[in-house]
Structure formats: C-alpha cells, structure tokens
Amino acid sequence: MSNATAPATEAPDPSGAPLHVAINMDGNGRWAAARGLPRAEGHRRGVEALRRVVRAAHELGILYLTIFSFSSENWSRPASEIGDLFGLLRRFIRNDLATLHSDGVRVRVIGERDGLEPDICALLNEAEELTKGNTRLNLVVAFNYGSRQEIAHAARRLAREVAEGKRDPQSIDADTISRYLDAPDIPDPDLIIRTSGEQRLSNFLMWQAAYSELVFVPIHWPDFDKTALEEAIAEYARRERRFGGLAAKTGS
C-alpha cells in the first residue's frame, strides 16, 4: 500500500444534493438467507455495496457520508459473526485505504474505542491519520457506536466540568451538548437512509437527526447502488424542510 500523499481536491458543486447523507446499512443477513448463503457472504457483499456508494456519493456532490458499520448493540450477536465483521473491517481498511486516500476521501471514525482489540484501534487510527488532509469526501464510520452512549458520554463530560467548578449549569444548552458529541464539526445529516424496509433509527445519530429527512428503502444493503441512492435523494428533494417554522412563501 502506497503512503504517498494525494493532493487535496475540492468537491464538486453539490447542485442541490444533500450535504450530508447517513446510511444504516441493514439487511446483509436477510439478503444472504434469501439466497441460501451464509451470513458472512451477506456481509462480504455489503462491503462491495459500500464501495459502490462511496464512489457514487462523490459523483452526486455529497460532501459527508456517514455509515453505521457496527453498533454497540451488535456485541450481542454470535461470536463467530462478530469475528466475521471484524475480519471484513480489517480487510476493507488494508485493501481499500490506499484507494480512498488517492481518491481524496477523508476517513473519520465515531464511537467507543475502549475495549477494542489493539490491531483494530491501530487500523482506525491509521485510516484517520493517513487521510486527514483530504477534502473531496468525508467518510464517517460509526463503529462500536450507539447514539444513547454518545449523548451519555457528552453529559458526563459536562457534569464533570460543573462538578469541578469550570462550568455554570445554566450555560448548558442544545448547542453546548452538540459540541460535546463525537464529531461536533460535522454538520447534522440532511438525509438518513435505512435499507431493508425497517423504519426506525435503532440508536443511530438520534441527536443529530432532529431535522433530518428519513427515507426507508425496501431493498437489502448488498443490493444498494448508485441508482438506489439517487432515488433516495430524489425523495429527499421532494420534501419541504421547514425546521419547525412555516412553509416559505412563494410568489409576491
């Protein structure tokens, strides 16, 4: 793998595309079961879908793409499946990191790293460090992530500051909490997509999703591609985003 630094490249004009798209990549196991294949094959094909979508995101003018790759609740799955998922992460970083870097993709990781195996932490750190100067697309990987845990962590940090006399409790508002989340510099998602037909957030970016448009698609993640992403964005474009206010007036 080459360590040559790719020149930073400005992203194209979004031209109305959502700035930030987040995806709950659901349905790998059901995709495999429907074909009589092991769940591990569903996860492997899910990685292929991720490669397609990362390419498509830049082509469509998306600047931030957040993916829910491993939730804090996934530890309840069988040890063999967790091993398969971690193995895929290892291979994805080792095989794809150089390509992501040369394509100008910056990798960010949100979620808890305490308790992860040292080689996994090292790979996550390597991905972030190598690509930190890239600007074409921000790929935010939610790994060992849970939104309730993220909010609780922010609350503990603020409570500690109050207890130490460094902060007045009256100074804590929604903006303050946002600044104490895992990636406060990343804008909230405009659009959250969940594949496989499930219609819930499942502990994914719950704070950040306050005004996100939610699009649920029936296809399983391994079948998701650029066309499916375009269709979700088209649905997003048909929505009227008022952020709690009145609809904008048109005409005179």
Is 26 a residue of the active site? Answer: yes
Of 3, 13, 24, 26, the active-site residue reads 26
Nearest to 205 by CA among 229, 225, 178, 236: 178
Of 13, 24, 28, 74, the active-site residue reads 74
Nearest to 28 by CA among 203, 218, 223: 223
DSSP 7: P
What are the residue numbers of the active site? 26, 74
